[in-house]
Amino acid sequence: MQISTFMITLGGLLLAGLAVEAVGRHTPLPRVTLLLAFGFGIGPAGWDLLPDLHGRWFPLVADMALLMIGFLLGEQLVRLLAGKLGRVILTVSIFDVVVTALVVLIGLWLLDVPLVTSLLLAGIAAATAPAATTDVIEESGAKGPFTSVLVGVVAIDDAWGMILFSLLLATALVLGGDGSGLDGLWLGLRDVGGALLLGLALGVPMAYLTGRIRPGQPTLAEALGFVFLCGGLAEWLEVSFLLAAMVMGAAVYRLASHHQRPFHEIEHIDWPFKILFFILAGASLHLDALLSAGYIAAAYILLRTLGKLAGAATGGWFGGADRSVRRWLGPALLPQAGVALGMALVASQRFPELSESILAIAIGATVFFELIGPVITRYALGQVGRGQSVKVGGNVN
């Protein structure tokens, strides 16, 4: 592809993203959904206006955007867990992941879906979409305890989800007859444990440097350098780059005296990457995948929705959260994207005979949850209202 084509496409997508965002201000739809729909329209499934590039550099753009999002979420997660809402966030996140997986597993099994397939889809169902959810929150300007709980749960959900997925994958491998369940456990241990170690290994020196580098452009160079280094090493070591970036951000927040500097600099530049990420993600969606998956995909979508609603409500009850959290947090957690697709790819590699059906269901559900999920998240935020209080252990925070 010629450099001129690349530059024209890049500039056009960024300007189109600004136009879509401007249109979104006059509609009830969140900009995430509009950007995804725009990408879908100009992609291969629509008018096919993009040159043959989204498949080649979309993974790079996606990783860069998610790395910055993960780094910012790490700071927010530690701050929220250390606050008064920490118990609510931790309780809701655990119940959300476990209950969602159980509802999907039992529901699919009762519908005569093979147990191995049910186990794999149950593991995939727990994952959320940090990019879409945080962008809806940012766009809406929502503040208050409900928003804080939502951010914290989204940040930690995928970590719990990866652990649970590795356990269910190991179980599926044993039931599949090859006796390689330890491979699944090792895969999960390496993915989560390796990401934790990498995040700490980079977060500690970054925390040391942050207070010694001038704010502004030097701090921006430092922050981007560490974030991209983290992503590259995570890919090379084959561990979760999203979790590694979150741990690095958490370490900087806890250890750096001037911890706010790198986070503020990243916040200033992450939106152009998000524009490209959402448009190219939309261009990568295939409606035929949703249609070809059949009734199992429809059942998966329904069961995952019920699981999220039940999990958040149950976790909120045990965590002592306010009624508004128990009612609206589940709907706000519906978006699902990249992490789920990554899990589906791992499952398809371990079970080649199930590859076609697993990927069709995962991709098909992503089409639904990426387009509809942000709309529901925005609606939930609107229903709760800005600054609504959340009761924790009988107190109002």
> Splitting the chain (397 residues) into consecutive groups of 10 residues, what average pLDDT does each group show?
76 88 77 82 80 66 80 80 82 92 94 90 87 83 85 82 80 68 65 87 88 68 89 88 86 77 74 81 70 81 95 91 87 83 75 79 81 88 65 40
Residues in CB range of 251: below 8 A, 6 or more apart: 74, 199, 200, 202, 203, 204, 206, 207
Task: Report the distance separating Cα 64 and Cα 391, nearest Å.
Answer: 37
Specify the CATH number of the domain 3-50+57-384.
1.20.1530.20
In tens, the pLDDT along 55-83 reads 566 677 777 887 887 888 788 778 777 77
Q: What is the pLDDT of residue 46?
A: 77
Q: What is the pLDDT of residue 350?
A: 76
Angle of the 115-125 helix axis to the 86-110 helix axis, nearest 10: 160
Task: Report the distance separating Cα 288 and Cα 291, nearest Å.
Answer: 5
Share of the chain above pLDDT 70, in %: 86
Q: What is the pLDDT of residue 51?
A: 74
Tell me the two tokens of residue 23. Answer: 């249109």
Look up the pTM and report it. Answer: 0.75
Residue 340 contacts residue 262 (beta carbons within 8 Å): no
Q: What is the pLDDT of residue 395?
A: 40
Domain residue ranges of the chain, discontinuous segments joined by +? 3-50+57-384
Q: What is the pLDDT of residue 397?
A: 38
